Amino acid sequence: MIGLADVRLGNEVLLRSRRQLLSGVRVGIVTNHTGVNSRLESIIDLLAADPGVRVTALFSPEHGIRGDVPAGEKVDRAVDPATGLPVHSLYGDTRKPAPEMLADVDVLLFDLQDAGVRFFTYTWTMALCMQAAAEQGKRLIVLDRPNPIGGLQVEGGIVQPGLESFVGLYPVAIRHGLTHGEIATWLNQRFKIGCDLVVVPLEGWRRSMWWDETGLPFVPPSPAANGLDMLTLYPGLCFLEGTNLSEGRGTALPFQVFGAPWLDERRTVAELRALELPGVLFRPAYFIPTASKHQGRLCRGVQVHIVD
C-alpha cells in the first residue's frame, strides 16, 4: 500500500534522521521524476518547500528533470516551472558538472532510481558528479534506492580497457547487483576518486528482493522502462539496439518484443523454444513501431513472456 512500504528509501531516512547533512549549506539536487519517496512526493518539491533547506540548483540526467525527454535526446538548460530553480543539464553539451554549475552549491544531493544494468546512464551521471565534486571541493550525498532486479545475481562481462563510454565508464558487470550507494562507495575506494562521499542507506531492503517485494510503488526509471518485466529482460534484450532488429521502442512493450519486417517469426520462435530456457515463453508477435527502427512498418517478431 502506498505510504506503508516495507523498505525505507534513502530520501526518507535523510528527512527523518539525517537532516543535519543539509543544515547551513547550499544544496544542488541531481534527480528527475524518479526521485520520489514511498508516497510519490518529489525530493525537489519536499526540499524546495522546506524552510530549513536552501536549494540553489537542480541537475538533470538523461530524460529531463521531470522525465519527459525521450531516450538519447539532448536535455537543455532550463528553469524548473514548479520551483523557479535553475536546471543544469548533465545530458547535453556536458555530462559532468562544470565549475560554474557548482559555484552556488556546497553539497550535491543525488536521488535517482537505477535499473540495475550497467548501460543505464544514471550510474555514470553519478560517477561524473563524484569526479566533479572531488575536483571542486564539494560533498556528494547519495540517497540510496533498491536495485529493482535484485542484489544477488551478477551477470555479463565488464567494460574492457579502451572501450569506456557513457554506458560504461568503469569496469562494472552488465547486471551488477548493486545499489547506487554501493557502486559509489566501490568506485570511490577502488579508483581513488577522492570524493567527499556520504551514502544515506536504505532501510529494510534485502539483497534477495525484487522491486515487487519492496512494498514501494513503481515509477518508470525511463520512458521505456514501463514495468518489472521490461527491467528483467533489459540486461539481455538491450543488445538488440546494436542490430537491425527493432527492440520494441515505439511500442507498448519495449524490450519485450523484437522483430523486423523481414524476420521469419515462426522459425525464430521455434528455435527459441527449442532452447528450453527456464522461466520464459515465446510467441509470434506483430507490431508497428511509432518511433525508432522500422518506424511505421509492420514488424514480424517475438514477444518474450516471463512466467517465473
- Give the pLDDT mean for 175-199: 98
pLDDT exceeds 50 at position 294: yes
CA distances to 18, 92, 247, 258, 297 from 289, rounded to whole Å, are: 46, 26, 10, 10, 7
175 and 260 part of one domain = no
Among 4-18, 142-156, 292-306, the minimum mean pLDDT is found in 4-18
Q: Are 64 and 133 in a shared domain?
A: yes
Judge contact between 202 and 145, C-beta under 8 A. yes
Q: Is 62 a member of any domain?
A: yes
> pLDDT for 41-55, tens place per residue?
999 999 999 999 999
In a domain, 238, yes or no: no
Report pLDDT digits (tens) over 152-173.
999 999 999 999 999 999 999 9
Give the CATH number, domain containing residue 257: 3.90.1150.140
What pLDDT, on a 0 to 100 scale, did the predictor assign at position 5? 53
Same domain, 191 and 144: yes
- Are 168 and 288 part of one and the same domain? no
- Asked if 114 and 149 touch (Cβ cutoff 8 Å), the reply is no
Question: How far apart, in whole angstroms, are the C-alpha atoms of residue 121 and residue 178?
Answer: 15
In eight-state DSSP terms, residue 58 is: E
Is 70 exceeded by the pLDDT of residue 3? no
105 within a domain of the structure (yes/no): yes
Using alpha carbons, select from 101, 71, 70, 69 the residue that is nearest to residue 85: 101
- Bigger pLDDT: 285 or 69? 285
Query: Whole-model pTM?
Result: 0.94
Judgement on whether residues 194 and 291 belong to the same structural domain of the protein? no
pLDDT value of position 4 = 44
Instruction: Give me the CATH number covering residue 40.
Output: 3.40.50.12170
Quick one: 193 and 302 in the same domain?
no
Q: What is d(CA 181, CA 31) in angstroms, rounded to the nearest whole number?
A: 15
**Are 50 and 197 members of one domain?**
yes
- The pLDDT > 70 percentage for the chain reads 98
C-alpha cell at 72: 538519447
User: For the chain, what is the domain count?
Assistant: 2
Same domain for 203 and 137: yes
**At 67, is the pLDDT very low, low, confident or very high (cuts 50, 70, 90)?**
confident
Range of the domain at 108: 10-213
> Predicted confidence band at 71 (pLDDT cuts at 50, 70, 90)?
confident
